Structure 1
Amino acid sequence: MKLVLYNLFPDRLNLYGDRGNVIVLQKRCEWRGIQLEVVDIKSPDCLDFSRVDLIFIGGGSDREQGLVTKELLKIKHEFKACIDDGVGCLAICGGYQLLGNYYVTSDGTPIMGLDVCDFYSEAQKNRMVGNVVIYTPDSGQLVGFENHSGRTFHRYEPLGKVIKGYGNNGEDGWEGLCYKNLIGSYLHGPLLPKNPLLADRIIGAALDRKYGKKDLLPLDDRLEFEAHSIAEEICLRTSV
């Protein structure tokens, strides 16, 4: 079995080691005998949505986010059709924000979004920074790190309920967004190394779409869960 992952603009969108998410997906596929071809996309001209199974979009500064969005606006309709067709996507922080209608920077500058989903984000002066623990119904508790001035507001299914931290906006108690096989989240760290169940959820959904229901072989995740437990303990015993 083979899956193809497009890593969008990794030279611009790679805050806080976000590329580690791609490495995790690649290794967890490899350990199961699944080939995951990772293609670094640095121009929309290189995008062939007919062959992609997974898309990763990392976080970036407001400047980098604006530059990338201008490039992706050239293929916004194809991108949305791809997501609507069930192609898997993990979008982190700035990558999450650019999938909405618009993002307003801290100086009031609007950045057009890709309109993949109907939501918006607005930056405020006070940043939301710290370790995060959230509860998800499908992947248990997730741990990560957030550092964002943007507040995101939407009516989609959230990724999870905030136990500790700020989440989407520091107000409604939710973190992230789920739409079909798209997952948006503010959790850096990177997210997937300490949350193997979420990584497998993403892989499993891509396999289901391409090959039908496939059971993933279990892996020895003792180190991953130990890292998860330590991060969770540290987060829960510190104040926001």
Structure 2
Amino acid sequence: EGAPLLAVCAGFQLLGSHYLAQDGTRIPGLGLLPMRTVAGSERLVGNLLVEADPALRLRQPLLVGFENHSGRTELESGLAPLGRVVRGRGNSGNSGFEGAWAGSVLGTYLHGPLLPKNPELADWWLRAALGRVGQTAELTPLDDSLEEDARLEAITKTLRPDRRSRFRLLGRGLAARRPG
């Protein structure tokens, strides 16, 4: 009914129609998002860097966290991914996408902790929650400088060492350095 929902990892998997375990057991999901998850034989573990879906309108579109899952989540046609994988494996290990969202329901494999490492996403989710109860007032800006420093440090650590020298961090994400 429009209530905001944030689900991470196994919670994300259960937002779909079902989870298919390795032994063939089909575990029903909540059916809130048109997707399904199948157990994989290999765990996908490591740092994860995602360029958020532009429709989320985040000023700082790079999301950072840690993934640790064996499920392979497949989004059905029309379901928007949370974003595009820049570094890491994401939903299925090879789709190039991470997470999913529709309305105020958001699911992801980004552990982190997710919201402290991505304060702008936290603000997006809070605005969705406030909108649910009819409050549309703009949030009072907080000093997120410590969180932003931690986010930028996590992004830097996530980039492969051979790519770090080709990028510079900006207050609004990542930009390639021009030669010369």
Q: What TM-score range do you get, normalising by the shorter chain? A: 0.7 to 0.9
After TM superposition, where is structure 1 displaced by more than 4 Å over at least 4 residues in a row?
none
Out of 35, 42, 53, the position equivalent to 1:126 is 42
Residue 109 of structure 1, CA deviation = 2.4
**Which residue of 102, 105, 123 maps to 1:179?**
102
2:12 to 96, 111, 114: 96
How big is the shift at 1:238? 5.3
Aligned length: 155
Aligned mates of 2:108, 2:35 — CA distance in 1? 13
The secondary structure found in structure 1 opposite 2:44 is strand
SS in 1 for 2:107: strand
1:52-63 aligned within 5 A: none
- Take 2:24 and 2:110, find their aligned partners in 1: how far apart are those partners? 24
In the alignment, the residues of structure 1 paired with residue 29 and residue 80 of structure 2 have an alpha-carbon distance, to the nearest angstrom, of 20
Does 1:210 pair with 2:126?
no
- In structure 2, what is the equivalent of residue 110 of structure 1? 26
Aligned mates of 1:201, 1:228 — CA distance in 2: 16
Structure (1 or 2) with the greater strand fraction: 2
- Structure 1 residue 182, shift from structure 2 partner: 0.3
Identity of matched residues, %: 48
- Equivalent of 1:143, from 64, 68, 88? 64
Question: 1:216 and 1:110 mapped to 2: Cα distance?
Answer: 42
| SS in structure 1 at match of 2:91 | coil
Matched, 1:194 2:117: yes
Task: Choose between structure 1 and 2: higher helix proportion.
Answer: 1
Tell whether 2:153 aligns with 1:230: yes
Rounded to whole Å, the distance in 2 between the matches of 1:166 and 1:214 is 37
Instruction: Give TM-score scaled by structure 1 length.
Output: 0.62
Shift of 1:119: 1.3
Quick one: which of 111, 130, 142 aligns to 1:219? 142
Show structure 1 runs of 5+ residues with no match: 1-84
What are the equivalent positions in structure 2 for 1:32-51 lying under 5 Å apart? none
Instruction: Report what 2:176 is aligned to.
Output: none
Larger RCO: Structure 1 or Structure 2 (Cα < 8 Å, ≥ 6 residues apart)?
2
Deviations 1:130-164 (A, max 9, x none): 00110112231000000111010113011111100
Q: 1:118 Cα shift? A: 2.1
Q: Which runs of 5+ in 2 are unaligned?
A: 163-180
In the alignment, the residues of structure 2 paired with residue 211 and residue 145 of structure 1 have an alpha-carbon distance, to the nearest angstrom, of 34
Cα 1:232/1:177, change in 2 over 3 Å: same
Q: Output one character per residue of 1:48-81: Cα deviation in whole Å (capped at 9) or x when no partner.
A: xxxxxxxxxxxxxxxxxxxxxxxxxxxxxxxxxx
Structure 1 stretch displaced more, 148-157 or 102-111: 102-111
User: Displacement, 1:211?
Assistant: 2.3
